[in-house]
Amino acid sequence: MTKPLDAVELTKQIVQMNTVNPPGDEEACARVLGSLLESAGCKVAFHKLSEKRASLVARIGGSNDKAPLCLTGHIDTVPLGAAPWSKDPFAGETDDGRLYGRGTSDMKCGVAALVVATLGLASKLERSPGLELVITAGEEIGCEGAFDLVREQGALDRAGAVVVGEPTSNFPYVGHKGALWLYARTRGVTAHGSMPDRGDNAVYKAARAISELEHFQFDNPPHKLMGQATLNVGTVHGGLNINSVPDEAVIAIDIRSVPTSRHEEIRRALQQKLGTEVELETIIDLESVYSEPDNPWIQRVFDISESYVGSRPEPKVATYFTDAAALTPAYGNPPTIVLGPGEPHMAHQTDEYCVIERVESSVGLYEQIIADWCHV
C-alpha cells in the first residue's frame, strides 16, 4: 500500500527548488506539483508566464450546478536579503519543530498542504462540485501570474468561494488590504553645480512633494476591520552626480488601501495635493479584498476552524496583498478566505521558517473545508 504524501516532505521538496523572484523560474516547481495532481485524476493545464516561468490550473469534479471551490497559492518567493542566514535557505532543514528555508511560510507550506488535501480527497470529488486549484508564478511582484490567467481566455473557469493559502497560522482571515504603488516624478533642467541659477532643481521639487506626502490625510471613512488606508514613501532617487543640478527625481509611494478607499479616488486626491510639478505613474494597482463575516460560507469555515485555533474565530484581516486581488473579482467576487499554515511574521524574513505541526494540521483543516463544500 502506498504511503500518503506528507505535506511537510512536499514542502521540503519545493523549498529546495529555488524560485526567488526575480527571476522566478517557477515552471519546474509547477511541473512537480502538476504531475502529482494529474496522477490523482485532476485535469492540469500549465500557463506560461515567460521563459522558465509558469502557473498551473488543476480541476477535478464540477459535475453539478454548484460552482467549484477555488484553492490558490503562489510558488515564487522574495530574494534572500543582505543579512546572512544561519540555515541553508534552499535545504529544507528541520530543527526544534520548525522547517527552515526561503518560502517555507510564504507560502510553499500552504501550497503543499492544499495539494496534499486535494490528493487525499481526489477519489471522492469526481461527482461533486469539485475544485479549481490555481497555483501561480509571479505573485510577489504584483500578482503577475494571477493577472495573466485572468487575461487568458479560458484559463479560469468559475468558483463559488476562494481559499487563499497565504500565511495566517491557520487562522481564517476575511480579507486583506489593497496595494497602490506609485512613482511620483519631478523634472527640472540640468546645469553645472557651480551655477545652480541656470538650472531647475528636480530634487527641491521632490522635497516639497515629500513634505506634502508626509502630511497627506485620507478623506475616506475608516473600514470597520481594516481601519484607515496608509501611505509610506519607500525610496527617493534624484540626480546623477554631486556637481550637477538634477533634472529628475523619483519618489516611490506605497499605499495600502481599504474597501472604503478606491484607488482612482486616492490617485486623484494625491495629484491635486502634489500639483502640476509632480507626475504620477502607477506601478501596482491591487484593490482590497473583503468578505462580510456573516456570509454563511465564511461562518461555516469559522465552524470548521474552531477546533484548530482553539476558540471561535473573530473576524480578522491581513495587511499584505494576495492573488485574491486578481482572482476574486475575476470569479465574480465570491466569498474569500485567507487561510494558511505559514507564520505571518516570518514572511520575507531572514531564517524564514514554518511550524511543522501547523503544516500537518492544515491538511486536515483544508480537507474538512473541501469536504464540506463538495458534500463528500
Domain chopping of the chain, boundaries? 7-176+289-374, 184-286
Cis peptide before 23 (omega within 30 of 0): yes
Q: Which residues contact 239 (CB under 8 A, 6 or more apart)?
A: 202, 203, 246, 248, 249
Cis peptide before 4 (omega within 30 of 0): no
From edge to edge, which strands make up the β-sheet containing 94-95? 94-95, 98-100, 353-355
Residue 4 has a pLDDT of 72
Query: Taking the domain 184-286, which CATH number applies?
Result: 3.30.70.360
The alpha carbon of 320 is separated from its chain's Cα centroid by a whole number of angstroms, namely 7
Which tens digits make up the pLDDT trace of 32-63? 999 999 999 999 999 999 999 999 999 999 97
Task: Yes or no: say if 15 and 102 are a contact pair by the CB < 8 Å rule.
Answer: yes
The whole model's pTM is what? 0.94
pLDDT band of residue 179 (cuts 50, 70, 90) is very high
Task: Yes or no: say if 69 and 159 are a contact pair by the CB < 8 Å rule.
Answer: yes
Which tens digits make up the pLDDT trace of 141-163? 999 999 999 999 999 999 999 99
Q: By percentage, how much of the chain surpasses pLDDT 70?
A: 99
Q: With 60 as the cut, is the pLDDT of residue 341 above it? A: yes
Instruction: Determine the Cα–Cα distance for residues 133 and 135; give it in Å rounded to an integer.
Output: 6
Mean pLDDT of 170-192: 98
Instruction: Determine the Cα–Cα distance for residues 261 and 104; give it in Å rounded to an integer.
Output: 33
Which tens digits make up the pLDDT trace of 230-255? 999 999 999 999 999 999 999 999 99
Query: The C-alpha cell of 261 is what?
Result: 478607499
- Residue 133, beta-bridge partner list: 58, 71
Residue 3 has a pLDDT of 60
Give 116-131 as a DSSP string: HHHHHHHHHHTTSS-E
Task: Yes or no: say if 11 and 99 are a contact pair by the CB < 8 Å rule.
Answer: yes
Residue 73 has a pLDDT of 98
pLDDT band of residue 5 (cuts 50, 70, 90) is confident
Instruction: Name the fold adopted by 7-176+289-374.
Output: Aminopeptidase (3.40.630)
